[in-house]
Amino acid sequence: MSSHLDATDELILQILEDDARLPLEALALRAGLDANALSKRMENLQRSGHISAFTIVRAYPDSDAAPMSAIVIIRPDPQRNGQDLYRGLESIPEVVTAEKLDSDGSILIRLQIHDGDRLDAITARLRNQASVRSLEITTTTPLLTHLPWRPPIGS
């Protein structure tokens, strides 16, 4: 991702953060650009990774319908290469992220699930992987539901 953004690019991103559904004509007007200039800047922002996806954020007025977030920490068997585990993680649609911890080589997985039974099924499947020595599970409760865009550290 390119870290250099000028004031106009920053303004475009701020406007989109406030209202991502703003029509392009209105966005161009608020950013002080014509349609062509805005289009080029939007393409550059996408190409450089500052705009990477069009995201749906669901609000759940009924908290029972909201997905649960769970964190699973897997301690892999050091005698195995873990390829079966990695392939298995790719096939679980509830896996949001999977990261290797630098401290001890454990794997941290974040899941979005709709019920405890599904969490049990996923963790049972993971426990049966030959590469898994042990795992820990915890569920989480959201504290912050919307964070403003922040530039990457060091940019």
Quick: pLDDT tens for 29-60: 999 999 999 999 999 988 888 887 666 555 55
Same fold across 7-47 and 63-140: no
CATH code for the domain defined by 63-140: 3.30.70.920
| DSSP symbols for the chain | ------HHHHHHHHHHHH-TT--HHHHHHHHT--HHHHHHHHHHHHHTTSS---------SSGGGSPEEEEEEEEE-TTS--HHHHHHHHT-TTEEEEEE-TTT--EEEEEEES-HHHHHHHHHHHHTSTTEEEEEEEEE--S-S-----PPTT-
Confidence (pLDDT) at 98: 93
Domain 7-47 CATH assignment equals 1.10.340: no
Domain boundaries, the chain: 7-47, 63-140
pLDDT at 155 over 60: no
pTM of the model: 0.56
